[in-house]
Structure 1
Amino acid sequence: MGKYGFGPLADAPIEGTGKILFSEEVVQTRVEELAKEITKDYEGEEPVLIGVLRGVVVFMADLMRSIDLDLQIEFMEITHYGEETDGGIEVLRDSLTELKGKHVIIVEDIVDTGLTLRYLVEHLQAKEPASIKICTLLDKPVRRMAGIPIGYVGFEIPDEFLVGYGLDYMGKFRNLPHLAILNRTEPKAVPQR
């Protein structure tokens, strides 16, 4: 295997990315550890994993394949309107599964301000699940504006914009097998997550 995994990106330098924060191997090991924790915590249950599109797809696929339980999966898609931090949130695609009495795990790629996650938890609580827990690949607590308890955290990260393993910048870098810091050489507004 090349420096960056398989395929055309295997040995090529990735223009636009800086330091690799978490290698493919480190990410995969941590995902498997999270899956073991979830398997232990939900033994005898059939949790519903709800992924928040789009950045979560790679993480959720690897996570669910490593969980040794029967489970259901769903996806939600949301959009923001207005100002980044005080604008509104709209659900574009909602969970189709009946959640009443079920154990729900919201799966996120990254928790930044926590505002979107707080909205999702409130939205899903109206569906009367037995429980709701959060599982995130990345947690950026330095930016937190909403206090949300997170049950499962892959990595706590500094105030940097990461790409790879499903996370993108302007549609690029999602397919990288590792997580790298975005190398911003020109001033651009970086969206909040």
Structure 2
Amino acid sequence: MSLIDTEQWYSREKSRIAKKALQSRERVYNLLVPDPADSGWTAVELQQPLTLYKVVSSVKGALVSTYDGVTRYELGRWTRAKAGAAGWPPLDACFFGAQVESKALSARFPANSKHLDAPKVLVKFEAHGKSYYHSESGWWRVPNVRPVSLLPISREQATEVMHRASQAAAAAERGAATATAARAPWLPC
């Protein structure tokens, strides 16, 4: 093989590998960024910080995610999604938020949330980055949040939030009891 043949082969291989890398990136992007027609979520890159509101739990004086019970929020400090750094994060790695306080206060937590019974706090935060917006529900999913202030919740609002959370906890317990009973091949007399 001559030098010219080697250079041509190298050039073809280089462009073939670059094309495969581009196709691979496109496949990963399509996996991570949901199709709006299927899910209702639209990918939006926030260039400027967006103000959102979120209800979190107060556990031993710390602001903690009601859902996972692990994610901590501190006033003035950025909290970042656990996946999707420098790219589009998966939907399940993002933080929920609403642009209106009343929407955040009306949030319904999943029954398997870790801190359903903990006291709740309304947090105003800034968000930025490669985010998602659901136009039908009005909810945002964002990869980076920074709490900027805690907002007062009236006694009635706090009671309503806790009532919805306790209903979700009761539903989770009923579901666990039903699942346990369904697994038991017999019941003792």
Give the TM-score, by structure 2 length: 0.21
Give the TM-score, by structure 1 length: 0.21
Report the structure number with the largest CA radius of gyration: 2
Structure with a larger share of its residues in helix: 2
